[in-house]
Structure 1
Protein backbone atom coordinates (compact mmCIF):
# COMPACT_ATOMS: atom_id res chain seq x y z
CA UNK A 1 0.00 0.00 0.00
CA UNK A 2 1.58 3.30 -1.06
CA UNK A 3 2.22 5.92 1.58
CA UNK A 4 0.42 9.21 0.99
CA UNK A 5 2.16 12.47 1.89
CA UNK A 6 0.66 14.18 4.93
CA UNK A 7 -0.28 17.31 3.01
CA UNK A 8 -2.12 15.26 0.37
CA UNK A 9 -3.97 13.20 2.99
CA UNK A 10 -5.07 16.29 4.94
CA UNK A 11 -6.11 18.14 1.78
CA UNK A 12 -8.15 15.11 0.71
CA UNK A 13 -9.85 15.00 4.12
CA UNK A 14 -10.84 18.66 3.88
CA UNK A 15 -12.08 18.18 0.31
CA UNK A 16 -14.18 15.21 1.44
CA UNK A 17 -15.69 17.30 4.24
CA UNK A 18 -16.69 19.97 1.71
CA UNK A 19 -18.19 17.37 -0.64
CA UNK A 20 -20.14 15.84 2.27
CA UNK A 21 -21.49 19.25 3.28
CA UNK A 22 -19.72 19.27 6.64
CA UNK A 23 -17.91 22.41 5.49
CA UNK A 24 -20.03 24.98 3.69
CA UNK A 25 -19.06 27.82 1.32
CA UNK A 26 -17.67 30.71 3.35
CA UNK A 27 -16.74 28.57 6.37
CA UNK A 28 -13.41 29.58 7.84
CA UNK A 29 -10.82 26.83 8.13
CA UNK A 30 -8.61 26.47 11.20
CA UNK A 31 -5.43 28.52 11.39
CA UNK A 32 -2.20 26.93 10.21
CA UNK A 33 -1.13 26.44 13.83
CA UNK A 34 -4.45 24.87 14.84
CA UNK A 35 -4.55 22.46 11.91
CA UNK A 36 -0.90 21.51 12.43
CA UNK A 37 -1.63 20.64 16.06
CA UNK A 38 -4.78 18.70 15.16
CA UNK A 39 -2.92 16.51 12.65
CA UNK A 40 0.41 16.46 14.49
CA UNK A 41 2.31 17.89 11.52
CA UNK A 42 4.50 20.93 11.03
CA UNK A 43 3.06 24.32 10.07
CA UNK A 44 4.92 24.10 6.76
CA UNK A 45 2.95 20.93 5.94
CA UNK A 46 -0.31 22.79 6.57
CA UNK A 47 0.90 25.63 4.35
CA UNK A 48 1.31 23.00 1.59
CA UNK A 49 -2.24 21.78 2.31
CA UNK A 50 -3.66 25.28 1.90
CA UNK A 51 -1.64 25.95 -1.26
CA UNK A 52 -2.87 22.67 -2.75
CA UNK A 53 -6.49 23.42 -1.86
CA UNK A 54 -6.21 26.94 -3.22
CA UNK A 55 -4.79 25.71 -6.54
CA UNK A 56 -7.67 23.22 -6.76
CA UNK A 57 -10.06 26.12 -5.96
CA UNK A 58 -11.51 24.30 -2.95
CA UNK A 59 -10.57 27.27 -0.75
CA UNK A 60 -9.59 30.89 -1.07
CA UNK A 61 -7.27 32.74 1.29
CA UNK A 62 -7.22 36.31 2.47
CA UNK A 63 -3.99 37.47 4.06
CA UNK A 64 -4.50 38.28 7.72
CA UNK A 65 -8.03 36.84 7.77
CA UNK A 66 -7.58 33.14 7.02
CA UNK A 67 -8.65 30.43 4.61
CA UNK A 68 -12.27 29.97 3.56
CA UNK A 69 -14.25 27.29 1.74
CA UNK A 70 -15.04 28.17 -1.85
CA UNK A 71 -18.37 27.50 -3.53
CA UNK A 72 -18.20 23.87 -4.75
CA UNK A 73 -19.78 24.96 -8.03
CA UNK A 74 -16.42 26.54 -8.86
CA UNK A 75 -14.43 23.30 -8.60
CA UNK A 76 -16.70 20.24 -8.54
CA UNK A 77 -17.88 20.55 -12.14
CA UNK A 78 -17.03 17.78 -14.52
CA UNK A 79 -14.37 18.85 -17.04
Structure 2
Protein backbone atom coordinates (compact mmCIF):
# COMPACT_ATOMS: atom_id res chain seq x y z
CA UNK A 1 0.00 0.00 0.00
CA UNK A 2 1.47 3.37 -0.98
CA UNK A 3 2.29 5.89 1.74
CA UNK A 4 0.04 8.89 2.21
CA UNK A 5 1.33 12.18 0.80
CA UNK A 6 2.79 14.66 3.30
CA UNK A 7 -0.03 17.16 2.80
CA UNK A 8 -2.59 14.47 3.67
CA UNK A 9 -0.72 13.46 6.83
CA UNK A 10 -0.36 17.07 8.00
CA UNK A 11 -4.03 17.83 7.29
CA UNK A 12 -5.04 14.73 9.27
CA UNK A 13 -2.81 15.83 12.14
CA UNK A 14 -4.46 19.26 12.25
CA UNK A 15 -7.92 17.66 12.12
CA UNK A 16 -6.92 15.39 15.00
CA UNK A 17 -5.77 18.43 17.00
CA UNK A 18 -9.18 20.04 16.44
CA UNK A 19 -11.07 16.87 17.43
CA UNK A 20 -9.02 16.49 20.61
CA UNK A 21 -9.45 20.13 21.61
CA UNK A 22 -5.77 21.09 21.24
CA UNK A 23 -7.01 23.49 18.55
CA UNK A 24 -10.27 25.29 19.25
CA UNK A 25 -12.74 27.11 16.98
CA UNK A 26 -11.34 30.53 16.17
CA UNK A 27 -7.73 29.56 16.84
CA UNK A 28 -5.30 30.95 14.31
CA UNK A 29 -3.01 28.41 12.64
CA UNK A 30 0.70 29.15 12.27
CA UNK A 31 1.86 30.83 9.07
CA UNK A 32 2.89 28.85 6.00
CA UNK A 33 6.55 29.55 6.82
CA UNK A 34 6.13 28.33 10.40
CA UNK A 35 4.33 25.17 9.29
CA UNK A 36 7.02 24.53 6.67
CA UNK A 37 9.68 24.68 9.34
CA UNK A 38 7.69 22.61 11.82
CA UNK A 39 6.92 19.80 9.36
CA UNK A 40 10.03 20.17 7.19
CA UNK A 41 8.08 20.46 3.95
CA UNK A 42 7.77 23.03 1.17
CA UNK A 43 5.34 25.94 1.06
CA UNK A 44 3.46 24.25 -1.77
CA UNK A 45 2.83 21.26 0.50
CA UNK A 46 1.36 23.51 3.20
CA UNK A 47 -0.79 25.26 0.59
CA UNK A 48 -2.18 21.83 -0.33
CA UNK A 49 -2.87 21.21 3.38
CA UNK A 50 -4.86 24.45 3.49
CA UNK A 51 -6.75 23.59 0.28
CA UNK A 52 -7.72 20.19 1.72
CA UNK A 53 -8.75 21.58 5.11
CA UNK A 54 -10.73 24.41 3.52
CA UNK A 55 -12.56 21.94 1.25
CA UNK A 56 -13.46 19.89 4.33
CA UNK A 57 -14.59 23.13 6.10
CA UNK A 58 -12.06 22.62 8.90
CA UNK A 59 -10.52 26.06 8.35
CA UNK A 60 -11.41 29.48 7.01
CA UNK A 61 -8.75 31.53 5.26
CA UNK A 62 -8.90 35.31 5.48
CA UNK A 63 -6.47 37.16 3.25
CA UNK A 64 -4.23 39.42 5.26
CA UNK A 65 -5.47 38.03 8.58
CA UNK A 66 -4.61 34.33 8.61
CA UNK A 67 -6.07 30.86 8.72
CA UNK A 68 -8.57 30.03 11.45
CA UNK A 69 -10.13 26.83 12.80
CA UNK A 70 -13.88 26.51 12.23
CA UNK A 71 -16.36 24.96 14.62
CA UNK A 72 -15.90 21.18 14.37
CA UNK A 73 -19.62 20.66 14.99
CA UNK A 74 -20.19 21.80 11.40
CA UNK A 75 -17.78 19.39 9.73
CA UNK A 76 -17.75 16.41 12.07
CA UNK A 77 -21.41 15.65 11.34
CA UNK A 78 -20.96 15.40 7.58
CA UNK A 79 -21.04 11.90 6.09
Same fold (TM over 0.5): yes
Alignment of structure 1 residues 1-79 onto 2, 5 Å = 1-79=1-79
Aligned to 2:46, the other structure's residue is in SS state: helix
In structure 1, the gaps of 5 or more residues are: none
Detail structure 1 runs of 4+ shifted over 6 Å in the superposition: none
Q: How many residues align structurally?
A: 79
In structure 2, the gaps of 5 or more residues are: none
Aligned to 1:75, the other structure's residue is in SS state: helix
**TM-score computed with the length of structure 1 as normaliser:** 0.95
Go from structure 1 to structure 2 and tell me whether the alpha carbon gap of 1:78 and 1:51 turns closer, same or farther (over 3 Å shift): closer
**TM-score computed with the length of structure 2 as normaliser:** 0.95
Q: CA RMSD in A?
A: 0.9
